[in-house]
Every structure is written in C-alpha cells, then in structure tokens.
Amino acid sequence: MNTLGYAILGLIDKNKITGYDLTKIFNDSVADFWSAKQSQIYTELKKLVDAALIEYEVVIQGEVLEKKVYSITTKGKEELNTWMHEDEPPLSQSKDVFKLRLYFSEQLTSQELCGKFEKQLEKCQLLLTRYTIKFNEYDSTVISAAKIGDYLLLKGAIAHLRTQIEWINESLVYIKK
Amino acid sequence: MNTLGYAILGLIDKNKITGYDLTKIFNDSVADFWSAKQSQIYTELKKLVDAALIEYEVVIQGEVLEKKVYSITTKGKEELNTWMHEDEPPLSQSKDVFKLRLYFSEQLTSQELCGKFEKQLEKCQLLLTRYTIKFNEYDSTVISAAKIGDYLLLKGAIAHLRTQIEWINESLVYIKK
C-alpha cells in the first residue's frame, strides 16, 4: 500500500468521514506535509474498500443526495497500527520547484531572481498568517491526545515559515548588493 | 515535460556530464529539494535525447569502458530558459512521512512518539553537520554567479535544519511533561 493509503486510513480512523470531507482535510490540515489530488484520494478509497481496510454506509442527505460515509475496519486498524510503528524513511524527500530554479539561478538576471524571491516571500507570509490564526485557537495547556500532533505540527510549520521568511529577506539583501 | 526533465536539463547546462555523475549530483547537492531514483534519471535522459533537447558523445574510458557524455542543445537551452521564467507552483508540496505519522500521534504511546522524535533529531543533526562542512568551504565574498544559488540554498537548508532541531527539542519537552 502506498503512503497516501495510510494517510487516508489514519484520517478515517479519527472520524467516520465522506470522500468530500476527506478531500477538504487534505487541502487544509494535511497539505503542509502530504499532498494529494482529489482523483488520487477517490482511487485510494476504492482500493481500501476492496482490501477490506475500510467500509462504508450510504447515507441519504436531503431528498436525493446519497453519500458514502467511510469507517475503518478492525483489519484497517491493525494495518494502520503496523505502519505507524515502522521507521521513517531518510530525510528530505521534498520537491520544491522554487529551490530547484534557484539552483539554476545563473539562468536569470538579479532582477528576475529577486522577483522570484519576492513572490515566494508573499506566499510564505500569507501562509504564516493562516497558520498563526489557526494556532491561536489552541490553548496549549488543554490539548486532547488526538490534537497533540496537529498542535506540534502547526508550531513546527510556523517556526519553519518564519525561518524561511528571514532567509528570503537575507537572500534579497545578498543578491541586491 | 516533467520537472525532473528540467532539473536534468539545468544540470547538463551547467556542465557536460555522464549519467553516472548526474545521479551522484542528485544524491548529493540536489537531494535537499528534488529527489529522483537512478532509473528515473536514465529514463528521462533518453526522453531528452529523443526530444533533441540534449545530445551525447561516446567517450572511451580506459581500454573498454564506453560512456555517454551529455550536453545541452540550442533547443534545450531555449526550453530551459522558458521553464526558468515560469511562475512557481503554490507552496508546500512536500511529502513528509514523519510529520504524517505525527499527525496521527494518538496511535502511539508518549514513549513511542518520543522515540520517533529522537530518531528524527539524529537525522537532522547528521545532515546539519554535512551541510555545515559544505557551507564552510564557501567564502561568501567571492562567489561566482553559477554558485550563488547553491550558496543561498545551503544557507537556507542550514537555517531550516536548526529550526527543525529546536522544534524537535521543544516538542520532546512538551510530550514528556
């Protein structure tokens, strides 16, 4: 099974959920450390059902809309548990087009390079604002076990973005000099 | 063309190179922001040759060993230039199994979670040492245009690892309390 399958399994284990809501969580909370397209998520859900790791019930919403609500099976819980205890792969599997282009910066003028850094800065600042708002909703003294991961990840993401912003600003100074 | 193709194109544009040396660069300098398996690199090289973006000459090494030395074509240079000037995709496409498992931390005991953080800490410290050695080889006052990207990326990677290490240590304190 691929990692996306385990990510979905873990999310379904947290709560019974529809494919639609699962996709929303991927775009929101999980996007910082695991990305997936909607089509991939639906493909994976089908595989997980076929492997009997999850099951679903069809719920009628309103007059006509049917939706599948997925829940994890005992076999799924075992599979998730085994994966959770495995060792992590080596560091640095990230794919970052901005950094890749920076590595080839001799292809660009200083001005073009600064333009790329400034756009990146803007994106980081926007994301930092979003994460900070989310983080401020937490009261660090009362966090449930199910939320500790989310809380620590947000803290890490904020620290990472601040470092990134500082680095971009320093780089801009370096390039312009 | 996929991003790996452009990464290879950019590297070949820096210097004429063999597939073997290309793979070494991927495992070393580029790994921090773009990962690729050897088989993927060779597949992509073939595609780039077929598309006339790169070409190769066969060089005889020693008595029997033939190796292909790749260089970029004019068409390849144009293609690389176009790609370099494109806008970057949205932030955060990274895939991080450690963070994904942390998001599901309710599946683990505090002790198991600390164990995962400690292993991660070790990996970060090792990589930080490696990068710091590399960084110290630079004299920041005399860096050629072709090396500015590499220099700034290393600086960024070091800052990121330091932040990561601090975050892991704070998280360990938080979990143990």
d(CA A154, CA A13): 21
CB A107 within 8 A of CB B84: yes
> What was the pLDDT predicted at B92?
59
In a domain, B55, yes or no: yes
CB A33 within 8 A of CB B96: yes
Query: pLDDT tens, A85-119?
Result: 998 887 756 788 999 999 999 999 999 999 999 99
A65 lies in the same domain as A121: no
CB B91 within 8 A of CB A127: yes
Distance, in angstroms, between B55 CA and closest chain A CA? 20
In a domain, B40, yes or no: yes
Residue environment code for A113-133, b if the CB has 16+ CB neighbours within 10 A, otherwise e: beebbeebbebbeebbeebee
In a domain, A89, yes or no: no
Query: pLDDT tens, A143-173?
Result: 887 788 999 999 999 999 999 999 999 999 9
d(CA B108, CA B58): 55
Q: What is the largest CA-CA distance in chain B?
A: 66
d(CA B71, CA B77): 10
Q: What is the largest CA-CA distance in chain A?
A: 66
d(CA B73, CA A125): 39
Averaged in consecutive runs of 10 residues, what is the pLDDT profile of chain B (177 residues)? 94 94 89 88 97 95 86 97 90 81 93 96 95 88 83 94 97 93
Select from B84, B119, B153 the last residue of a domain: B84
Any bridge partners for residue B68, and if so which? B58
pTM: 0.87
> What was the pLDDT predicted at A121?
97
Give the whole-number percent of chain A exceeding pLDDT 70.
98
In a domain, B156, yes or no: yes
Higher pLDDT, A61 or A53: A53
A78 lies in the same domain as A18: yes
In a domain, A90, yes or no: no
Distance, in angstroms, between B61 CA and closest chain A CA? 29
SS3 B107: helix
Select from A58, A84, A110 the last residue of a domain: A84
Q: How many domains, chain B? A: 2
Pairing of strands A17-18, B54-61: unpaired
Which residues, other chains included, contact B3 with Cβ-Cβ below 8 Å and sequence gap of 6+? A95, A97, A100, B34
What sections of chain B are H helices per DSSP? 3-14, 19-27, 38-50, 74-84, 97-103, 110-136, 145-176
Q: What is the CA radius of gyration of chain A?
A: 20
> What was the pLDDT predicted at B14?
92
In a domain, A155, yes or no: yes
User: Containing domain of residue B79, as a range?
Assistant: 3-84
B40 lies in the same domain as B105: no
A101 lies in the same domain as A80: no
In a domain, B57, yes or no: yes
Select from A84, A115, A140 the last residue of a domain: A84
A10 lies in the same domain as A71: yes
User: How far, rounded to the nearest angstrom, does the alpha carbon of residue B17 sit from its chain's CA centroid?
Assistant: 17
A74 lies in the same domain as A126: no
Flag if B175 and A148 touch (Cβ within 8 Å). Answer: yes
Flag if A107 and B84 touch (Cβ within 8 Å). Answer: yes
Query: pLDDT tens, A115-150?
Result: 999 999 999 999 999 999 999 988 777 888 778 899
> What was the pLDDT predicted at A131?
92
Flag if B156 and A166 touch (Cβ within 8 Å). Answer: no
Best residue of A4, A100, A153 to probe chain B, by most B CBs closer than 10 Å:
A100
Given A88, A97, A148, which is nearest B105 (Cβ)?
A148
B101 lies in the same domain as B169: yes
Any bridge partners for residue A56, and if so which? A70
A54 lies in the same domain as A119: no
In a domain, A18, yes or no: yes
Given A30, A80, A167, which is nearest B107 (Cβ)?
A80
Q: Between the CA of residue A95 and those of A5, A32, A163, B65, what are the distances in Å? A: 20, 12, 18, 34
For residue A44, the domain's CATH number is: 1.10.10.10
> What was the pLDDT predicted at A92?
59
Distance, in angstroms, between A130 CA and closest chain B CA? 13
> Is the CA virtual torsion A87, A91, A93, A96 positive or negative?
positive
B133 lies in the same domain as B63: no
Residue B111 has what DSSP assignment? Answer: H
A9 lies in the same domain as A46: yes
A53 lies in the same domain as A105: no
B76 lies in the same domain as B142: no
What sections of chain A are H helices per DSSP? 3-14, 19-27, 38-50, 74-84, 97-103, 110-136, 145-176
| Among the listed residues A56, A55, A57, the one whose alpha carbon sits nearest the alpha carbon of residue A75 | A55
